[in-house]
Structure 1
Amino acid sequence: MLPTLRLANARKPLIRFIGKRQWPSKPEEQHPHPFAPPELKQHFADFLKKFQSSSATSSSSATAKNGSATGPVYEEFWQAPARYRKRELEEWEIDLVQSGGASVH
């Protein structure tokens, strides 16, 4: 038997992309989902106003009246209290997870 020469028939992909990929330089305008109910589409502008005002107030309410943050801010994980850190699992916890939460008793 003679080996076939498949080099002459170079593989061509079936998909062809037209043009280069171009991403928009700025995000598109916010709009309701195309399949949203009509009453939500009508009041979408009101929703945007409320959302933008609440996000502005929530960022300003993050600082207290004194100008300091409402709670402690930790730059690194080891600065946080021990209750927020990972801990070693005990044997009974590992067994419970491996059993899928089924009762061992």
Structure 2
Amino acid sequence: MLPSLRLANAHRPLIRFLGKRQWPTKPEEQHPHPFAPPEAKEHFADFLKKFQSSPSTTQAGSTSAAASSSKSGAKGPVYQEFWQAPPRLWKHELAEWEIELVQSGGASLH
């Protein structure tokens, strides 16, 4: 069998990209989602003011996170450590049947 000359017609992908990749040098200006409800679009500036004035949870740590969640209308107390919560919410040792249930993927053993 003779070798074919298909090498001359190399595969050309059907998709074509226009121009080179260019990434923006600064982030896009914040704006409401185009399909947001009209009342959300109207009050977006107020939201940005509140968002920018609130303490960042990544900088201040978990203390400000707990404080901000209590201000934002979280129901009930916010606990800093697990022992401050009621004992029913503490982590507990798993029973053998609970371990088997997890290992079986929740399938019934009956």
- Bin of the TM-score, shorter chain as denominator length: 0.5 to 0.7
Asked if 1:104 is matched to 2:109, the reply is yes
Query: Percent of aligned positions with the same letter in both sequences?
Result: 78
1:95 pairs, out of 86, 91, 100, with 100
Asked if 1:20 is matched to 2:20, the reply is yes
Partners of 2:100 and 2:57 in 1: CA distance: 46
Q: TM-score, normalised by structure 2?
A: 0.56
Q: Which has the higher contact order (CA 8 A, sep 6+)?
A: 2
Asked if 1:42 is matched to 2:36, the reply is no
Q: Secondary structure at the match of 1:55?
A: coil
Following TM superposition, by how much is the alpha carbon of 1:93 offset from its aligned partner in structure 2, in angstroms?
A: 5.6
Q: For residues 96 and 34 of structure 1, do their structure 2 counterparts lie closer, same or farther at Cα, with a shift above 3 Å needed?
A: same
Q: Which has the higher helix share?
A: 2
Q: For residues 6 and 95 of structure 1, do their structure 2 counterparts lie closer, same or farther at Cα, with a shift above 3 Å needed?
A: farther
Q: TM-score, normalised by structure 1?
A: 0.58
Structure 1, gaps ≥5 residues long: 65-88
Query: In the alignment, residue 101 of structure 1 is paired with which amino acid?
Result: G
The count of residues paired between Structure 1 and Structure 2 equals 81
Query: In the alignment, residue 36 of structure 2 is paired with which amino acid?
Result: A
Structure 2, gaps ≥5 residues long: 65-93
RMSD: 3.4
Q: Give structure 1 regions of 4+ aligned residues with deviation exceeding 4 angstroms.
A: 56-64, 89-94
Q: Deviations over 1:20-39 (max 9, x none)?
A: 10101110111000100011
Query: In the alignment, residue 106 of structure 2 is paired with which amino acid?
Result: G
Instruction: Give the corresponding residue for 2:86.
Output: none
